[in-house]
Amino acid sequence: MLELKKGIDILSAIGGIQNMDGAERIFEEKCDPENLEKLHFIKNEEALLKIANAISLMTPDSVFINTGSEEDLQKIREMSLTKGEEKALAMKAHTIHYDLPQEQARIIDRTYYIVNEGEKTSVLARKILRSDAFQYINTNFKGIGKGKILLVGFFSRGPVGAQAAIPALEITTSTYVMHSANLLYRHVYHQFDDEAERRGIILTNVHSEGPNRPEDLPNARVFMDRSWLTTFSMFCTYAGNTLLLKKGNHRFAVDLATYFRKEEELSEHMFITGLSRSDGRKTYFAGAAPSGCGKTTTAMVGTDFIGDDLAQLWIAEDGTLRAINPECGIFGIVQDVNREGDPYLMKCLREEGTEVIWTNVLIDDHGVPHWVGNGEEPPKKGVNFQGEWVEGKMDETGKPVPLSHPNARCTLLNSAIGNYNESDAEDPKGVEIKVITYSGRDSDTMPPVWVGKNSDHGVVIGASILSAATATEVGAKGVRRQPWANEPFIPGPLADYMNAQFVFFNSPKLKTKPIMAGLNYFLTHGARGGEGKALLGEKRDVKVWLGWLEKLANNELDAVETPIGFIPKYEDLKILFDGIEKEYPKTLYDKQFAFYIDNMLARIDFQEEAYKKEENISPRLFESYQEQRMGLEALKEKYGSIVSVDQIMETA
Ligand code: SPV
Ligand code: MN
């Protein structure tokens, strides 16, 4: 069990400021009159002490208070250009920021939870004892802000007043990090005191890039103090390592939901998007996918886009499942974003009118960004994440350097995106979620879409996500388990998190239960009797899978019952494919939905074995696996190891 405020508060212990007099003294020393006045508007003492101690710890030359006013936002844009963390591009309001070549993703080998003696964490996570973290921060972080301006911003993770929204401080010497926060999070400087009071907690994030040289990267650390809801990040710039309002605070939100709001809230690595029909019916989805597996793309398929990365879910008074996006912008992967698949994003990226921070893409001689898979003619040279680039450039190991890094991203406001439903996204009551999806990068086993038979089944779909490594983590390799696609962000034991999922989705308080589905866009021809790694599906098919789920959630069609859950009938998909003007031959359906029973059984064995190694995993998981296994074995006995949907229907 997690305990808050346990052990020493490292920030205040090293900062050394214990009371408001001390805080005021350091504010007066480091703030000019204008910034001092801005700071004086904030009355919450916990926040002020955190800020004072961050100043004392990092000893910057001065402090800039970011109120979120247009003037302050503009100041930060200008500071970033002057300092050189960003450069202006040809398009108005577009800039480029480069992370060090060796820091193009989350540095999971240098990311730790700070724990107290005896505290359990996820077996997949790294942890560091509080006393060791204290030493590290005291040695490496103290004085890191010398010669720099420290920026302080007041944000909310979610619309003001939403039950799941949490106020958070971003304290950083990096203008790029603060500029990104300005686009990704809601400023609540004016409501900060009230929100802190209402929620009873605040989250604190302290970062400095330091000298930002490759030689400092081995010393880079991301520390998350679970007990004091404070993050520390040093010697790095990639937003996933530094803008800890995002994944750092998401990890705290997972803890808070799991240990303090069980049966009330969940905190998920999910997009939120809706489908509206011409008759006014609107159905919202929340969907999990591991980083770099098409979450943004799926979210953009909706007519009512709300968010592409994170969702805070809760059971409302009326028994519905509600969700908010803690963010208000996207930090999206640009690789393979093109006119055909992502028209809304392309408009933001290629036409004037949107503020965009680009990272780690190629900039040509005309100040225009380019990236892999954009469907345009690529330039022959430019500057990218590894410096000067020419076509055919090799790295030191003789591997070709791609035009842009596969984890290169663009940061922009959701309100710039054509299908964003801003009024629903800003509603503190959240949107009602009727469909939950879980997906991974699975080349050979699961069909494009299937739906759990009940809540337990649904939870097990989430628990069983499996995915190939992507470029979003430095050094990641191979295929691995990705429970709920949230595993990199679950601080405590997986058993606790899983238990909270079972309790939440089976709760009698949840009167309108969502359907819970698996999605897989990554089946290959090779895995279905053909040749090679080419995918059986295309990006535009996502509309069909979501469309089918929309109809199912609204009780408009029946599905085929199978041991793994419900799958679509060919005729229903055919109609939906007609809707996107695509041929959908029965032969393709047969390939996509045939059961390759041995693969499915091997998958169950693999998951079961892994979960058996962990303590206290709910028996519900094993019961569900066993039930699926028995059903699959019965099919195999009757039809052999490859079973068509027609055969499955015959059995039913
Ligand atoms: C992800 O990798 O899941 C992201 C980007 O959304 S990061 O900020 O690195 O987490
Ligand atoms: Mn993510």
Max CA pair span of the chain: 81
The percent of residues in the chain predicted with pLDDT above 70, rounded, is: 100
**Cα 93 to ligand 1 centroid, rounded to whole Å:** 23
Ligand 1 atom closest to residue 105's alpha carbon, by position in its atom list: 9
| Mean pLDDT of the 535-554 span | 96
In the prediction, which pLDDT does 480 show?
85
- Is residue 438 very low, low, confident or very high in pLDDT (cuts 50, 70, 90)? very high
**Which residues make Cβ contacts (< 8 Å) with residue 432, sequence separation at least 6?**
284, 320, 321, 322, 512
Can you tell me the distance from the alpha carbon of 209 to that of 211, in angstroms, rounded to the nearest whole number?
Answer: 6
Asked if 87 and 81 count as a contact pair (C-beta separation under 8 A), the reply is yes
Atom number in ligand 1 closest to CA 409: 5
The answer, yes or no, to whether residue 179 has pLDDT greater than 90, is yes
Query: Could you tell which of 233, 241, 331 is best to mutate to test the pocket of ligand 1, judged by most ligand atoms within 8 Å of the CB?
Result: 331
- Ligand 1 lined by 370 (C-beta under 6 Å): no
Residue closest by Cα to atom 3 of ligand 1: 291
Q: Please determine, for residue 367, whether its predicted confidence score (pLDDT) is greater than 80.
A: yes
10-87+97-260 carries CATH number 3.20.20.70:
no
Nearest CA to ligand 1 atom 9: 240
**Pocket of ligand 1 contains residue 309 by CB under 6 Å:** yes
CATH 3.90.228.20 at 265-326+422-651, yes or no: yes
**Closest-CA residue to 296 (of 331, 250, 247, 253):** 331
Asked whether 331 lines ligand 1 (CB < 6 A), one says: yes
Distance 85 CA to ligand 1 centre (A): 20
Instruction: Answer yes or no: is the C-beta of 472 below 6 A from any ligand 1 atom.
Output: yes
Which tops the pLDDT comparison, 371 or 470? 371
At 651 the pLDDT is: 81
DSSP state of 189: G
Q: What mean pLDDT do residues 113-122 have? A: 94
What's at 369, amino acid-wise? P
Cα of 248 vs centre of ligand 2, distance in Å, is 11
What is residue 64's three-state secondary structure? strand
Point out the ligand nearest to the CA of residue 247: 1
Strands 329-333 and 479-481: unpaired
* pLDDT at position 334: 97
Nearest atom in ligand 1 to 269's CA: 3
Q: What is the mean pLDDT of residues 417-431?
A: 98
Q: 604 phi and psi, to 5 degrees?
A: -65, -45
| Å from CA of 116 to ligand 1 middle | 27
Give residue limits of the domains in the chain.
10-87+97-260, 265-326+422-651, 331-415
In the annotation, is 31 catalytic?
Answer: no
Q: What is the pLDDT of residue 474?
A: 83
Q: For residue 454, what are the contacts with CB-CB under 8 A and spacing of at least 6?
A: none
Buried b (16+ CB within 10 A) or exposed e, 506-530: bbeebeebbbbbbbbbbbbeebbee
How many angstroms does the Cα of residue 291 sit away from the middle of ligand 1?
6
Q: Using a 6 Å cutoff on CB, does residue 539 contact ligand 1?
A: no
* Phi and psi based region of residue 384 (left: phi greater than 0; alpha: psi -120 to 50; beta: remaining): beta
| Separation of first and last alpha carbons in the chain | 45
Residue 180 CB–ligand 1 contact under 6 Å: no
Residues ≥6 apart with Cβ < 8 Å to 555:
none
Centre of ligand 2 to C-alpha 406, Å, is 14
The answer to whether the CB of 407 falls within 8 A of the CB of 99 is: no
pLDDT of residue 311: 98
| Set 31, 236, 293, 348: catalytic member | 293
Instruction: Indicate the CATH number for domain 331-415.
Output: 2.170.8.10
Which of 495, 485, 490, 489 shows the shortest CA–CA distance to 519? 485
- Does the beta carbon of 247 lie inside 6 Å of ligand 1? yes
- H/E element holding 230? strand 230-234
Instruction: Look at residues 579, 500, 514, 521 and name the one whose alpha carbon lies nearest to residue 549.
Output: 514
